[in-house]
Amino acid sequence: MGHETWPSRSAWPAPADWAGWRAQFPVLGRRTYLNSGSCGALSLPVRAAIEDYLELRMHEGADWGLWLGRLEALRASLAGLLGVKPGELALTASASAGLNSLASALDFVGDRRRVVVSDFEFPTSAQIWHAQARRGVEVVHVPTTAAGDEVPLAHFERLIDEHTALVAVTHVCYRNGARLDIPAIAELAHARGARVLLDCYQSVGAEPLDLAALGVDFAVGGMMKYLLGTSGTGFMFVRHALVPGLEPLATGWLAQADVAAMDITRHAPAPDARRFEAGTPGVAAFQAAAAGAAILDHIGLAAIGARVEALVTRCLAALADQGVAVATPAAPARRGATVAIRARDDAALVAALARHGIVTSCRDGNVRASFHFYNNDEDIARLLDALACERALLQ
Whether 242 and 95 share a structural domain: yes
Beta bridge partners of 343: 394
Does 45 fall in a domain? no
Whether 136 and 260 share a structural domain: yes
Query: Do 79 and 85 touch, CB atoms closer than 8 A?
Result: yes
Average pLDDT, stretch 144-172?
97
Residues 6+ apart with CB under 8 A from 255: 248, 269, 270, 274, 275, 276, 277, 278
Beta bridge partners of 33: 359
Whether 163 and 305 share a structural domain: no
pLDDT digits (tens, 9 = 90+) for 83-108: 999 999 999 999 999 999 999 999 99
Whether 285 and 311 share a structural domain: no
Does 382 fall in a domain? yes
Q: How far apart are CA 370 and CA 361, in angstroms?
A: 9
Indicate the residue type of 136: G
Concatenating the DSSP letter of every residue in 99-122 gives HHHHHHH----TT--EEEEETT--
Whether 239 and 375 share a structural domain: no
Does 13 fall in a domain? no
pLDDT band at 7 (very low <50, low <70, confident <90, very high): low
Q: What is the β-pairing status of strands 366-370 and 361-363?
A: antiparallel
Whether 284 and 353 share a structural domain: no
pLDDT band at 1 (very low <50, low <70, confident <90, very high): very low
Concatenating the DSSP letter of every residue in 180-245 gives --HHHHHHHHHHTT-EEEEE-TTTBTTB---HHHHT-SEEEEESSSTT---SS-EEEEE-GGGGGG
Phi then psi for 45, rounded to 5 degrees?
Answer: -65, -35
Does 213 fall in a domain? yes
Whether 102 and 200 share a structural domain: yes
Domain interval for residue 355: 301-393
Does 44 fall in a domain? no
Q: How far apart are CA 276 and CA 251, in angstroms?
A: 7
State the number of CA atoms in the 13 A half-sphere of 378 facing the CB: 10
Q: How far apart are CA 346 and CA 342, in angstroms?
A: 8
Whether 228 and 360 share a structural domain: no
Does 7 fall in a domain? no
Q: How far apart are CA 262 and CA 253, in angstroms?
A: 8
Q: Tell me how many domains the chain contains.
A: 2
Domain boundary among 248, 276, 295: 295
Annotate 34-56 with b (16+ C-beta within 10 A) or e (fewer).
Answer: bbbbbbbbbbebbebbbebbeeb
Whether 243 and 257 share a structural domain: yes
pLDDT digits (tens, 9 = 90+) for 19-36: 999 999 999 999 999 999
Whether 101 and 199 share a structural domain: yes
Question: Three-state SS for 5?
Answer: coil
**Predicted structure pTM score:** 0.95
Whether 141 and 264 share a structural domain: yes
pLDDT band at 3 (very low <50, low <70, confident <90, very high): very low
Percent of the chain with pLDDT over 70: 98
Over 80: is that where the pLDDT of 204 sits? Answer: yes
Indicate which CATH number applies to the domain containing 364. 3.90.1150.10
CA distances from 333 to 171, 172, 287, 330 (A): 12, 11, 33, 9
Whether 235 and 307 share a structural domain: no
Query: Do 281 and 71 touch, CB atoms closer than 8 A?
Result: yes
Q: What is the β-pairing status of strands 338-342 and 361-363?
A: unpaired
